[in-house]
Amino acid sequence: MSMTDIHSEQFEELLAEALRAGPGTPAWRQAVETLQAAGQAGDEMAMLCRAREDLAAGREYRSVRAGPGFTRKLMTRLERENSRQWQLPTANIVTLLSIAIIVLVVGGSAWMVFKPSRPGSTTVDLQETYFVNALVNENFDAPEPHGFARLGLLPVACDGGMKVEVRSREGEQHVGGGFYYATGLDPAKAYELESVIGVEQADTELVTQVFISDRPEFAPGTGISPHELVCLVEAGKLRVMLSDGQGVAEAAVPAGEVAIQVRFDRESAVVELGGKTIWSGRNLLSGEAQRYVGVRYLTRGGDKSMGVTVKSLRVMAP
C-alpha cells in the first residue's frame, strides 16, 4: 500500500495501528516506509512517535459533550451516594427510637405528677360548658312538687310558685321551710342549678335561699344542712356563702323577676345573677358526696316576712 500524505487521516490510522501492533508487523513496516518516502530518517520507534506527536499537535482536540439525560443521571447518582453516606444501620435507628419513647413517657408521667395546679381551671370549663339537658324542671304549681321533699317548719305553699303561706308574729329565732330534690346528683359530673325568683318588696326581711348541700340532713326548725353552698337574697341583695360560713360575693337584686344560676362540679362553682357572673371558685363541698339542691325561706316573722316568690327551679346537665 503506497501512502505519501503523512498528514492524512488514513496515515494517522495506519500509524496508530503500527504503534499498537509493534515492530516487524506489516502495519509497522508500511508506516516506516511511508515516513522514509516523505524524507524522514532515524530510529524507527522514534520516527513513528515523532510523527504521532506532529499529527496530534496539528489537530484540534475533539470536544466532549454530555449526552442526553447526563445531568439527571449525574444528580441521581450523587443523591444515592449521599443517602448511602448518611444512612444509619437499622439497629441504631431502633435504639434511638426506643430511647426517645422512654424519655417521652417518663417526662409525661413526671409532668402529670408534679405539674402545678391551675386555680380556676375547672371554673373556666364550667363557664364554657353548655347545659341543655333538663333533669329537673319544677314550676311549683302542685302542692307537693314531684320528686321533692319538704324541709323545716315554716309553712310554704305552691300555687304558681313557692311562697310563705301565712304571715306570722315576729320572734327571736329564724324559722325556715322549703323543698329539696330528694335524688342526689353525681359529684363527678357538672350541673347547672337555676332558680327564678320574683321580688315584690325590695326591703323584705324574708331570706330566700338557693342551696347545694353535700348532706341530706336538714335541721328540723330551719331546714338548713350543716355543709352547703348558698345563694341568699335579703333586703335587696344577693350574697354567696360557702360551707365554712364565709361570704365571698355580694350583688344588688332589682325588683321583679331575676334568675340565679349556679354551675358546679366536684370542686368548683360559678354563680351568676341575671346572666352576669358575680363569683367563681372552689365550692368547698365534699368531693365524693352526692349533691342535693333546693330552695327555702328563713324568717323571724313580722310585717316584712313575705314578698318573694320562687317561680321555678331547674337542674340542667351538659
Q: Show the cell assigned to 269.
A: 362553682
Higher pLDDT pick, 83 / 256 = 256
- With CA atoms as reference, report the closest residue to 162 among 187, 180, 143, 181: 143
Q: Show the cell assigned to 187.
A: 359529684
Q: How far apart are CA 121 and CA 286, in angstroms?
A: 18
- List the domains of the chain with CATH numbers: 9-57 (no CATH), 123-317 (2.60.120.200)
Q: What is the pLDDT of residues 10-57, one digit of tens each?
A: 888 887 888 888 888 888 888 888 888 888 888 888 888 888 887 777
pLDDT level of residue 151 (50, 70, 90 thresholds): very high
> What distances in angstroms separate CA 11 from CA 45, 48, 104, 125, 217, one per listed residue?
16, 11, 79, 99, 126
Higher pLDDT pick, 213 / 67 = 213
Q: Show the cell assigned to 286.
A: 365534699
Phi and psi (nearest 5°) for 206?
-70, 130
The mean pLDDT value of the chain amounts to 83
Q: How far apart are CA 295 and CA 262, in angstroms?
A: 13
Q: How far apart are CA 149 and CA 138, in angstroms?
A: 13
The per-residue b/e assignment along 288-318, b for 16 or more CB within 10 angstroms, e otherwise, is eeebbbbbbbbbbbeebbbbbbbbbbbbbbe
Q: What is the pLDDT of residues 186-213, one digit of tens each?
A: 999 999 999 999 988 766 788 999 999 9
Q: How far apart are CA 197 and CA 207, in angstroms?
A: 12
